Every structure is written in C-alpha cells, then in structure tokens.
Amino acid sequence: MANRDLKSPFGGRFPDGFHFGDVLGMRRTSAIAGEASFEIEIGPEHLNRHGTVHGGVLMAMLDTAGLWAVSDPAEDVPPRAVTVSLNCSFVGRSAAGDFRILATGRISKRGRRTYFSSIVAESLPSGELVATAQGIYNISD
C-alpha cells in the first residue's frame, strides 16, 4: 500500500491542512449550499510565456471550486470527495488591468455518491469569462 503520509518525504515542512491550492495562493471567498468560489491574486508565477494566466492554474481553480461545491458552507473542512472527470474550455483571457481570477462551482446534479458541477472562471475586475468546466466528483466515505 502506498505511503499516505505525504509530509514525511518533505521533512515535515508543510503544516496541517496545507494543500496544492496554498501553493497557488487560492483562498475560498464564498460558500453557500451547493456552491463555492475561490480566488487568486494574479502574480508572475501564474503566467505562461505569453503573459496570460496559465491554463494549469485555471484548471486547478476550476477543479477546486467544483469539488468544494459539495462542502458544508458553515465549516472550513475539505470535502470528502475526489475528482472523476473534469472537462474544461478556455474561452478568453484576462483583460488589461485585471489582477484576480475568481472560479465558482455550482452543483448541477447530485446523487447518493456522485455529483456534477458546472464551473466558471472570470478575470476581475472586468468580469471577463476566461474558462468554463464541467466536473464529476465521487463522494468518499
């Protein structure tokens, strides 16, 4: 069986609760039943060689917002779910003067163990749509 303690190989450098979103600077900005939003401040580390937000950053944000849409909005506890599938379309880029990306996931259908999220990412303050996604997530025990 694989080692589930991922902190050990890194000499315990990461505090409890640390995750990939922390590396990107993501923070949850809102949560209501069936919906969650995450935001980042755009920095040079988020850009590709063309000077636009890297698609991998957008995909990570879309996935995170879709995943967290199932979480209890009253708690700051990560959802017990995993991504099954994520289909993304890049539809635009940040406008001049934009400095944040906001991704919002909404549950579009929920079953007993599986749920589907519709997710959008927009560049702020312009509100320019930069990516859309549809995610399928499995709720674990």
Is residue 105 a contact partner of residue 35, using CB atoms and an 8 Å limit? yes
Asked whether the predicted pLDDT for residue 38 surpasses 90, the reply is: yes
Measure the CA–CA gap between 50 and 56, rounded to whole angstroms.
14
| Cβ-contact 48, 92 below 8 angstroms | no
- What is the distance, to the nearest Å, from the Cα of residue 43 to the centroid of all Cα atoms in its chain? 17
Q: Are 27 and 39 in contact (CB under 8 A)?
A: yes
Q: Judge whether residue 139 has pLDDT over 80.
A: yes
What pLDDT does residue 1 have?
40
Report which of residues 109 and 2 the model is more confident about.
Answer: 109
The stretch 105-109 carries a mean pLDDT of: 97
Topology at the third CATH level for domain 20-139: Thiol Ester Dehydrase; Chain A (3.10.129)
pLDDT at 89: 97
Query: Is a pLDDT exceeding 60 seen at residue 4?
Result: no
